[in-house]
């Protein structure tokens, strides 16, 4: 199973920049999208369906904001939209599909860059999310959690760790949370195969950051440890430019 995760920063805008053609040539089995910024009814899905993809969307109540979706060639036996908790579901940040022997989640973790109140919400959200994932792995351990985590884990994952030490997305408490999440049984699939620096998945639109590769690695395909023997490869597509993010991917037996 070839799984791609991609924060598209507006799926309609990304389609206008060639997303559909790229998907058709990439031919992944599953695409996990974040920040779709659209309702399913606002997108012409006929071409996706022609290529064999079923899609499952969980959009924010606020129009043009947040939202996640999964496009898959394999029809799932079950789909879970949101957490089932009104306090956390209005922003449309998680959708899960269950296949016979593996489950895949597309998640869009909040950013805390707009101020202290939002950063506090992010940390509260992370604790709720971790508890939710722990419940799932107790009865569905073959889980891949793909998405925009809005956190760089280690100094190797950010172009300027010293200058960004007080920046949301690289705060000690965020990095500690991600360490605990991984220690709870998850494998950072990219780092499982690739230990080299300067590998990023997001670049600010400012100061020509992408051309100079001044980026952050905040997008992950986290696989639960029960899948370690099935991991074949993982990587990043920095040359794919429909968004300020780029796709990340993992392949399983």
Active site residues: 108, 148
pTM of the model: 0.98
**pLDDT score for 219:** 99
pLDDT of residue 126: 98
pLDDT at 79: 98
- What is the third-level CATH fold of 2-252? Deoxyribonuclease I; Chain A (3.60.10)
- Taking residues 164-176, what's their average pLDDT? 97
Q: What is the pLDDT of residues 66-98, one digit of tens each?
A: 999 999 999 999 999 999 999 999 999 999 999
The pLDDT assigned to 44 comes to 96
Given a contact cutoff of 8 angstroms between Cβ atoms, the answer to whether 147 and 5 are in contact is yes
Which pLDDT score is estimated for 12?
A: 98
The residue ranges of every structural domain in the chain are 2-252
Average pLDDT score over residue span 154-182: 98
The Cα 76–Cα 103 span in angstroms is 9
Tell me: the pLDDT tens digits for 6-30?
A: 999 999 999 999 999 999 999 999 9
Residue 63 Cα distances to 67, 93, 113, angstroms:
10, 14, 20
- 131 pLDDT band, cuts 50/70/90, is very high
Average pLDDT, the chain: 97
Do residues 247 and 6 make contact, with C-beta atoms less than 8 angstroms apart?
yes
Cα 243 to Cα 237: distance, rounded to the nearest angstrom: 12
Residues of the chain with pLDDT > 90: what percent? 99
Q: What is the C-alpha to C-alpha distance for residues 65 and 146, in angstroms, rounded to an integer?
A: 19
Query: Looking at residue 67, what is its pLDDT?
Result: 98
């Amino acid at each position: 199973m070839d799984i791609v995760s991609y924060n598209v920063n507006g799926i309609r805008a990304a389609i206008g920049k060639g997303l559909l053609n790229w998907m058709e040539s990439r031919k992944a089995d599953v695409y996990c999208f974040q920040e779709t910024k659209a309702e399913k009814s606002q997108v012409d899905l006929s071409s996706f369906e022609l290529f064999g993809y079923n899609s499952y969307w969980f959009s924010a109540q606020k129009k043009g904001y947040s939202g996640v979706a999964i496009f898959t060639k394999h029809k799932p036996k079950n789909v879970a939209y949101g957490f089932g908790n009104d306090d956390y579901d209005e922003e449309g940040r998680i959708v899960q599909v269950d296949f016979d022997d593996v489950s895949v989640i597309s998640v869009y973790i909040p950013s805390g860059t707009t101020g202290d109140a939002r950063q506090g919400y992010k940390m509260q959200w992370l604790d709720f999310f971790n508890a939710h994932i722990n419940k799932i792995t107790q009865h569905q351990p073959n889980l891949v959690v793909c998405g925009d985590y809005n956190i760089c884990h280690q100094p190797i994952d950010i172009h300027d760790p010293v200058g960004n030490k007080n920046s949301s997305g690289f705060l000690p408490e965020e990095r500690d949370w991600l360490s605990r999440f991984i220690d709870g049984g998850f494998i950072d699939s990219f780092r499982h195969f690739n230990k080299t620096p300067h590998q990023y998945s997001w670049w600010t639109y400012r100061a020509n950051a992408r051309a100079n590769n001044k980026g952050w690695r905040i997008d992950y395909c986290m696989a639960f440890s029960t899948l370690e023997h099935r991991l074949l490869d993982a990587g990043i597509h920095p040359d794919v430019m429909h968004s300020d993010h780029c796709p990340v991917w993992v392949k399983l037996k």
